Amino acid sequence: MKAIIGVDIGTTSTKTILFDLNGKSLASQNIGYPLYQNQLGMAEEDPEQIFSAVTQGIRNVLKNKQETFLNWLVFRYQRRCTV
């Protein structure tokens, strides 16, 4: 089966969805992580937690999908700073 994975890297979680080429959702995963706010007006994220959520999410949506050929891997990530 040909498929697409979409990964939405958000502020407090990463959402990963496996779609077939017709847009039907085949599997999904949402993995959360904390947002650290130690000072007023400041927020930080742990890049290791984000990376782990991305890789774990991709592995989980592909689990038990041995006959899957990945056509596209799409990431959405919007930040005002560099991680």
Give the domain range for residue 19. 2-77
Structure tokens at 50: 């984000």
For residue 25, is it within any domain? yes
Question: How many CA atoms lie within 13 Å of 52's alpha carbon, on the beta-carbon side?
Answer: 9
Q: What is the pLDDT of residue 80?
A: 60
pLDDT digits (tens, 9 = 90+) for 62-76: 998 888 888 999 999
pLDDT digits (tens, 9 = 90+) for 38-58: 888 888 889 999 999 999 999
Structural domain count of the chain = 1
Alpha-carbon distances of 60 from 35, 40, 54, rounded to whole Å: 23, 36, 10
For residue 18, is it within any domain? yes
